[in-house]
């Protein structure tokens, strides 16, 4: 019986990858030929959501009423490669994702993400990091809604690591509310070190925003820690120090 279960899981995992590649290919073609940044963002959102719908993954989203009508900065925990497509598919298309700069080295993915409105942050060189940080802050000041995974990476080990300050600097300088988001289930679906995903239920909980009138906005480090604590409590995981990158 165990062998049958493993075979079925492996078959589902291969089919899930096939669906992901198909949706990515269609999205790549469309963002190449369709004009207008807003149109391309909606295409990426639709393609990302289609991955979960077509593979039969149930995604439960709660707290949508906590997303401000205006622009804001979303910060979410990061547990799996699944998290990016997940939030791309289930957050409003107006959110631009801020992604680690290493993705620039993968031309096709970089092109798709860039055409879909994503921005990139260099993590390992001071000059590149400062340059990208200025771009992100400018985007926030211009009123662009942004979405971050402020842990910067993920591991197989449960826990919400320390939040890096970039998202919170952008929020305070842009005067935009910070919306903590808790993701549950993606670590079980595709943890670090695993190749084939497994079917499971996924939950996205959008928590009450921390508004620009909150005293926490006077210190981006205190704001980062407050957001991390709220996300960790909602996820049910906590970790005071970041683990080594997986």
| CATH assignment at residue 87 | 3.40.1130
In angstroms, the CA 201 to CA 75 distance is 21
In the block, which residue shows the tokens 């926030």? 140
Residue range of the domain that includes 152: 2-235
If one counts the domains in the chain, the total is 1
Whether residue 137 contacts residue 174, with contact meaning beta carbons closer than 8 Å, is answered with yes
User: How are strands ordered across the β-sheet holding 146-148?
Assistant: 59-62, 202-206, 177-184, 72-76, 146-148, 96-100, 119-121
Q: What was the pLDDT predicted at 15?
A: 95
Q: What is the pTM of this model?
A: 0.85
Using CB atoms within 10 A of its CB, is residue 239 exposed (0-12), middle (13-18) or buried (19+)?
middle
| pLDDT on residue 105 | 65
pLDDT of amino acid 121: 67
Would residue 242 count as lying in a domain? no
- The per-residue pLDDT for 116 is 74
Residue 244 belongs to a domain: no
Residues of the chain with pLDDT below 70 are 100-105, 120-133, 238-246
The answer to whether residue 190 is domain-embedded is yes
pLDDT at position 137, please?
74
Other C-beta atoms lying within 10 Å of the C-beta of residue 233: 14
Do 157 and 147 meet the contact criterion of CB atoms below 8 Å apart? no
240 domain-assigned: no
What's the pLDDT score for residue 230? 95
């Amino acid at each position: 019986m165990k062998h049958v279960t493993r075979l079925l899981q492996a078959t589902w995992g291969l089919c899930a990858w096939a669906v992901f590649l198909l949706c990515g290919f269609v999205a790549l073609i469309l963002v190449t030929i369709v004009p207008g940044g807003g149109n391309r963002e909606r295409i990426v959102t639709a393609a990302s959501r289609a991955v979960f719908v077509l593979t039969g993954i149930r995604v439960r989203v709660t707290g949508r009423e906590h997303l401000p009508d205006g622009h804001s900065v979303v910060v979410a925990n990061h547990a799996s490669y699944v998290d990016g497509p997940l939030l791309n598919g289930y957050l409003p298309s107006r959110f631009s994702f801020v992604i680690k700069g290493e993705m620039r080295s993968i031309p096709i993915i970089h092109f798709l993400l860039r055409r879909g409105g994503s921005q990139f942050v260099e993590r390992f060189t001071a000059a590149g990091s400062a340059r990208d940080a200025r771009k992100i802050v400018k985007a926030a000041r211009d009123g662009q809604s942004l979405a971050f995974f402020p842990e910067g990476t993920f591991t197989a080990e449960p826990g919400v690591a320390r939040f890096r300050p970039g998202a919170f600097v952008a929020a305070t300088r842009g005067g935009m509310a910070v919306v903590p988001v808790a993701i549950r289930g993606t670590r079980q679906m595709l943890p670090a070190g695993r190749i084939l995903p497994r079917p499971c239920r996924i939950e996205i909980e959008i928590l009450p925003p921390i508004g620009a009138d909150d005293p926490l906005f006077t210190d981006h480090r205190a704001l980062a820690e407050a957001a991390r604590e709220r996300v960790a409590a909602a996820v049910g995981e906590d970790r005071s120090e970041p683990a080594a990158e997986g």
